[in-house]
Amino acid sequence: MKNKFYAYIQNLQDTITAGLEKMDGQAKFKEDIWERTEGGGGRTRVIENGAVFEKGGVNISAVHGPLPKAMQAYFNVGDVDFFACGLSLVIHPKNPKVPTVHANWRYFEMYDKEGNTVNQWFGGGQDLTPYYLFEEDAKHFHQTCKTACDKHNPEFYPKFKKQCDDYFWNAHRNEARGIGGLFFDHCKASEEFTLENWYDFVTEVGNSFLEAYVPIVEKRKNLEYSQENRNWQEIRRGRYVEFNLVHDKGTLFGLKTNGRIESILMSLPPHVQWVYDHHPEAGSEEEKLIKILENPIDWL
């Protein structure tokens, strides 16, 4: 399974980077291949200063070795070995009317000292972070997520949508990071749903990514915007940074397993503002977004 899924994310990285380059029309992804001392490595691809995308990364990695002490405590296990592979992406567009997007699909295995597999699971999801709210974009993104889920289980979309709203919650701000999507983790084999079934589901969601995001970019990338719009985008990007550095488990896992710092922090946008005690104007488009982020809704 680990070889099968790693082959899948290698192909998916190629598909997604090609699709995003075509959409940008100017910038190309730069590739950086790296190795991890303890075992494994990855292929980082970053796009910067494009016509559409200000900064973005589409990274894959496959790492293995002894599970570090900090992570043993987190998983509540003893001295075990692990293998983890996944694709992680974050795209920050230039135009404030185009939303930031994040997605991740991953697979994890744990082994005892004899090399027997003692645990294995899938995780992942995709979510949207707009700076200006276009309801049709939110509906399109969520409908694409639901369509992918419904092919495998009609209960998946409502369950994983709620998990996404719960996970991407900036507790210290009492607001969501964005308008959600899907989040699933520890998806293990059971009598009803085998590991192969989970593979089929996770790859279905991965394959739906460009369909979920590209039409939104196409529709918004040429809209006019002001310096005030740009300031707002940078203030909201600050909240994005706060979530990634304070709450995100993937960032934490990378930092605690001696992950590659450049790849872990590629999710951070290039231009950000933190304005003291900032509140948007009453009745403005900016305030409308905040009200939605304080109370996540069912877009469908």
* Active site (catalytic) residues: 102
280 with 232: CB under 8 angstroms? yes
Query: How many degrees, rounded to 5, is the angle at CA 20 between CA 143 and CA 29?
Result: 145
271 with 234: CB under 8 angstroms? yes
How many other CB atoms sit within 10 Å of the CB of residue 213? Answer: 26
Half-sphere exposure of 8 (CA within 13 A, CB side): 20
Cα 68 from Cα 245, distance rounded (Å): 20
